[in-house]
Amino acid sequence: MELWAIWLIIAGILLVAEMLTLTFYLLWLGIGALVAAIVAWIIPEFFILHIFVGCITALILTFATKPLTSRIRMSKGFKDPIDELVGKEGVVVEEIDFGKHGIVKVGNETWSASSQVFLPKDETIIVVARGTTILEVQKREVIK
């Protein structure tokens, strides 16, 4: 298989993974792999050049767009959908032990979660805080 085709497959995988995560970091890596595919198609002999150009492209995109994404996140009216999970109820899908991560389902989505206490499977929880990709949860107290 041609090297440019391998780079193209890697770019496709990264771009699909980006659609699932919505972090923008995999997008820049995917575009870097796409640029590496183009360079590999034009100059197939220099594998190190493909890697170098792809990495430089991803780094430039990452650093050049950081101020733009920060400005968008700080703009008036911007709401991160993950912030809206705080206060919502969910259920433990995979038990959570203190100091370890488990999995919870909040709405229609599953998330990695941590807790200050052990939470067994099927326990009803409330999201109390969020990290980048991990929710902090606690047992929902039943009001009588």
* 90: CATH: 2.40.50.140
- Domain boundary, last residue among 74, 92, 114: 74
Average pLDDT, stretch 15-20? 88
Q: Which of 105, 106, 107, 128 is nearest to 116 (CA)?
A: 128
- Domain shared by 38 and 11, yes or no: yes
Domain count along the chain: 2
- The tens digit of pLDDT for each residue in 114-143 reads 988 898 898 899 898 887 778 889 888 755
Residues 6+ away with beta carbon under 8 Å from 51: 36
Q: What is the C-alpha to C-alpha distance for residues 128 and 100, in angstroms, rounded to an integer? A: 17
> pLDDT band at residue 34, thresholds of 50, 70 and 90?
very high
Let me know if residue 13 belongs to a domain: yes
Let me know if residue 144 belongs to a domain: no
Let me know if residue 134 belongs to a domain: yes
CA atoms within 13 Å, Cβ hemisphere of 57:
21
| pLDDT above 70 coverage of the chain, percent | 87
Let me know if residue 33 belongs to a domain: yes
- Domain boundary, last residue among 74, 109, 128: 74
Range of the domain at 104: 83-139
Q: pTM for the complete prediction?
A: 0.56
- The predicted structure's pLDDT at residue 40: 94
Residue of 128 and 35 predicted with greater confidence:
35
